[in-house]
Structure 1
Amino acid sequence: MEWGQFFGTAAVVVVIVILQWPRMKDYSKRDKGGFIALLLIGLILSLFNLQHIKGPLDLEKAIFHPISRIIGK
């Protein structure tokens, strides 16, 4: 994890909230909650090194490869 990237993303999130929140005063609580939730999801994902996380195909391979050896015989 690179802390510089995380803090950079956190700074961008803060700037977005500062600039957009006054424009959102007429929006419902649900819309504001969705706005905050999406920003928090992006901030949390910035903590992970997503280039090195295995994808769904690796999971499928791990599950079905042993089964295919049993069925194939």
Structure 2
Amino acid sequence: MKWGLLCGIIAIVALIFVYEWPKISSNMHKEKVAFIVFSVIACLLAGLLIFFPDIPGPTMWVETVYKPLGKLLEHP
């Protein structure tokens, strides 16, 4: 089941890639690299969320980083 979801996500990313790639002109190298990098990152994150759904979200990371700072800023 999980592998099917991953294959579906890869297929959707591939369809997006096939649809959008010709629209990026050949002299836009940085845009092509950015498109590839963001597509790969999105695919990896989706795969991680399929196999490990209990991964803490971005708000948990921010809270972990800034909680000690908040305690320091509280008045004694």
Alignment TM class, shorter chain as reference: 0.5 to 0.7
Larger Rg: 1
Contact 1:24 1:32 in 2 (8 A): yes
Report the Cα offset of residue 52 of structure 1: 0.4
C-alpha offsets along residues 41-69 of structure 1, whole Å, 9 cap, x if unaligned? Answer: 01001121364013324x45xxx6xxxxx
Q: Structure 2, unaligned stretches of length 5 or more?
A: 69-76
Give the TM-score, by structure 2 length: 0.64
Q: Distance in 2 between matches of 1:13 and 1:33?
A: 15
The residue number in structure 2 matching 1:13 is 13
C-alpha offsets along residues 25-54 of structure 1, whole Å, 9 cap, x if unaligned? Answer: 245100010011111001001121364013
Structural RMSD (CA): 2.6
Aligned-residue sequence identity (percent) comes to 25
Q: Distance in 1 between matches of 2:42 and 2:18?
A: 17
Q: Structure 1, unaligned stretches of length 5 or more?
A: 65-73
Give the TM-score, by structure 1 length: 0.66
Higher relative contact order (CA 8 A, sep 6+): 1
